[in-house]
Amino acid sequence: MTAKLLSPFTLRGVTLPNRMVVSPMQMYKSGPDGLSTDWHLVHLGKYANAGFGTIFTEVLCVEPRGRSTYSDAGIWDDAHVKPLKRIADFIREQGSVPAAQIGHCGPKGSRQRPYEGLQPLSDEGSEAPWQVVASTAEPSAPGYQTPHALSIDEIQEIVAAFGEGARRCDEAGFDVLDVHAAHGYLIHSFLSPLGNKRTDAYGGDQAGRMRFALDIADALRRNWPDEKPILYRLSCIDRMEGGLEVEDTVALARELQARGIDAIDCSSGGIKGPNSLFSLATKAPPTQGFQVPLSDAVKHGSEMPTMAVGMIMDPEYAEQILQDDKADLIAVGRQALFNPHWALHAARALNEGQTFDDWPPNMGWWLEVRQRMLTSTNPEDWRIGPAAANAPNQAAD
């Protein structure tokens, strides 16, 4: 029986060849122009040649002030399309589905790269800070820059920038779109009662706080083909007193679905701190699958497909999530950095008989032969090529 992790999944007119997804991960390898580079082509391309069904770009920023650092990749300019198209084309040629994430870092912009300390840029540093924006003029964490609270006209400009970003992603050939509405970034700063203190139409009650995310959904559906799916990455809970709870996310998911959004990418946290993966309030480090209960709750609360993400490392565990109907897709982040061949190893681990059948044949064929050499005592099993032409143990070409 084929493992569910290895089975296809269809959203709108796009069939993902399996359930294994490379999660969006910023690599800080663009220049200040936001152009994607050969580095990104090689980085994302290696996952396409390695069994992942769907491969997301890192968050592509819809305007320059929506970057987190000067090295973020962009989608704010038509010039961004060409290098991204090379990446999307390559991923498709390898049989995977090219997918793009778009977003705006909002109050978490103008910072150092993580490995430099993640501190807000300052006038004393080598890179000039820029004015960040948010729903509300409150820093997202102590010591962070105070954002400019967007006016209603400025909100509409950013909604339009998301629409333009989607159009460019389509032109670049991506088949799936994910909107970064999590981790304390701009959209999350509107959604969360801990981030949004507005009293106008874009704040106040739940409907007001959701309005920006829903306006963006409408803009995306005007600019992105009907046959291509859109996911929203949400911080399903804030993990903080007074913050978003899973019921809020279920309500949002239903509204998003009514506007043509196809699946929820279930993350959490980040509204009041630098770390998107956990909140200090939990007082515990995340463990394998720590966000899976959120995916489960959103999937069954909203009847929308979900993608689970967060410390999913073992293929057997990933398979169990799907078997238990707690998610439809499995996104892998750091485990893919640790082992770019994770999806191929997962396929082999879940294949009965531990075959290399799901590996690209130009690699799998050789590994199958090696496996026989390692495990069989019968010289016939070590043969490379036809019996009559080749003696056992002959050297490889």
Among all residues, which ones are annotated catalytic?
185
d(Cα 330, Cα 317) in Å, to the nearest integer?
Answer: 10
Among 3, 48, 150, 309, binds ligand FMN (CB under 6 A): 309
Contacts of 271 (CB under 8 A, 6+ apart): 140, 184, 188, 189, 192, 194, 195, 235, 238, 240, 243, 244
Minimum separation from the CB atom of position 166 to ligand FMN (A) = 16
Contacts with ligand FMN, 91-110, as mask; x by CB under 6 A: ----------x---------
**Rounded Cα distance, 177 and 115, in Å:** 28
Distance CA 120, CA 127 (A): 10
- Nearer CB in complex with ligand FMN: 43/383: 43
Stretch that binds ligand FMN, among 22-30, 39-47, 143-151, 351-359 (CB under 6 A): 22-30
Q: Does 266 bind ligand FMN (CB under 6 A)?
A: no
Beta strands 148-149; 176-181: pairing state: unpaired
Closer CB to ligand FMN, 16 or 73, in the complex: 73
Least distance between ligand FMN and beta carbon 309 (Å): 4
* Least distance in angstroms from the C-beta of 30 to ligand FMN: 12
Q: How many CA atoms lie within 13 A of 333 on its CB side?
A: 17
233 sits near ligand FMN (criterion: CB under 6 A): yes
Which tokens go with 175? 């088949």
Interface characters, 277-306, with ligand FMN (x: CB under 6 A): x-----------------------------
Q: How far is the CB of 24 from ligand FMN (least distance, A)?
A: 4
Distance CA 268, CA 13 (A): 29
Point out which span in 11-19, 24-32, 130-138, 378-386 binds ligand FMN (CB under 6 A): 24-32
Q: Which helix (H) or strand (E) holds 232?
A: strand 230-235
**Residue among 61 and 384 whose Cβ is closer to ligand FMN:** 61
Among 18, 20, 21, 23, binds ligand FMN (CB under 6 A): 23
Residue 57 · residue 100 · CB < 8 Å: yes
Using CB under 6 A as the binding rule, whether residue 26 contacts ligand FMN is answered as yes
- Cβ burial of 218 (10 Å; 0-12, 13-18, 19+) is middle
Per-residue interface string for the shown chain with ligand FMN, residues 321-360, x marking contact by CB under 6 A:
-----------xxxx-------------------------
For residue 270, state whether it binds ligand FMN (rule: CB under 6 A).
no
Question: With CB under 6 A, what is the number of residues at the site for ligand FMN?
Answer: 19
Q: Which is nearer to ligand FMN, 71 or 146 (CB)?
A: 71
85's tokens: 């198209």
Q: Which stretch binds ligand FMN (CB under 6 A): 20-28, 34-42, 127-135, 294-302?
A: 20-28
Q: How far is the CB of 75 from ligand FMN (least distance, A)?
A: 12
> CA-to-CA distance for 192 and 172, rounded, in angstroms?
32
Question: 250: which 2 tokens?
Answer: 């279920």
DSSP string, 185-241: SHHHHHH-TTT----STTSSSHHHHHHHHHHHHHHHHHHS-TTS-EEEEEES--SST
Kind of pairing between the strands at 9-11 and 14-16: antiparallel
Q: Which of 198, 201, 306, 304 is nearest to 260 (CA)?
A: 304
Residue 49 CA to residue 45 CA, distance in Å, equals 7
> Which residues from 138-197 bind ligand FMN, rule CB under 6 A?
180
Is the Cβ–Cβ distance between 60 and 101 less than 8 Å?
yes
Letters for 54-93 (x = contact with ligand FMN by CB under 6 A, - = none) are ----xx----------------------------------
| Tokens of residue 325, six digits | 């109907």
Residue nearest ligand FMN, Cβ-based? 333
Q: Which range binds ligand FMN by CB under 6 A, 3-11, 186-194, 309-317, 382-390? A: 309-317
Separation of alpha carbons 6 and 193, rounded Å: 39
Nearer to ligand FMN, 273 or 333 (CB): 333
Which residue ranges make up the site for ligand FMN (CB under 6 A)?
A: 23-26, 58-59, 101, 180, 233, 267, 277, 309-312, 332-335
